[in-house]
Amino acid sequence: MFTLPQLPYPTTALEPFIDDLTIQTHYGKHHQTYVNKLNAALENNPEYLEMDLIELLKSIPSLPENLKGPVTNNGGQVYNHNIYWESMAPNAGGKPSGKLLEAIEETFESFEKFKELFSAAGINQFGSGWAWLSVNENKELEVSSTSNADSPLLHGKNPILTMDVWEHAYYLKYKNLRPDYAGAFWNVVNWTEVSRKYEALV
């Protein structure tokens, strides 16, 4: 069975940038529902319930046809939200340091330019989706956006930072103002964790 990972902080911890009620609903209802639906979709194929989630997602092309859609959507959303909660922390934000900062400056010219590019990826994503910073096959950094439950993981890359831009991620507090949410997001980015993921990959 797949389970909902523990939220790494209380639901109030990212106030005022990401509000308590949004996290209660987003984590406790939306994320939990994706976990439940993934388990329900696999109940007649228990061998898949024993797999690691990343391993399961990477094996989507070889899954039975009737499982490809439910695993892509629900499994993808479980994974995407796992990375999202890990991407944030209380008393965070600011800038990365060390190897990750060097790589960001080398790839995107400056940390400010990287922020603009990542924010734009999220703000300009049409409809529901995600903004990502990933490490590609050549160990280079890449900014991208994906729709719905898709992620760079399903395209051979390793995500290290994500911002959920589904309306459920911001609508209670920011209403239709996705750019305000995207601006607030930088105050809670957990660069310690993003750097840890980066250094484990390069």
Binding site for Fe ion (CB under 5 A): 164, 166, 169
In the bound complex, what is the minimum distance in angstroms from residue 81's beta carbon to Fe ion?
Answer: 6
In the bound complex, what is the minimum distance in angstroms from residue 166's beta carbon to Fe ion?
Answer: 5
Q: Which tokens sit at 45?
A: 């194929």
List, in sequence order, every residue forming a beta bridge with 144; answer none if it has no partner. Answer: 132
Q: Residue of minimal CB distance from Fe ion?
A: 164
When the beta carbons of 96 and 122 are compared against Fe ion, the nearer one is 122
Please state at what angle helix 32-41 crosses helix 76-86, rounded to 10 degrees.
Answer: 150
When the beta carbons of 92 and 169 are compared against Fe ion, the nearer one is 169
Q: Which residue has the tokens 């903004």?
A: 131
When the beta carbons of 166 and 181 are compared against Fe ion, the nearer one is 166
Q: Are 100 and 194 in contact (CB under 8 A)?
A: yes
Q: How far is CA 197 from CA 12, 82, 141, in A?
A: 25, 13, 12
When the beta carbons of 153 and 169 are compared against Fe ion, the nearer one is 169
In the bound complex, what is the minimum distance in angstroms from residue 68's beta carbon to Fe ion?
Answer: 21
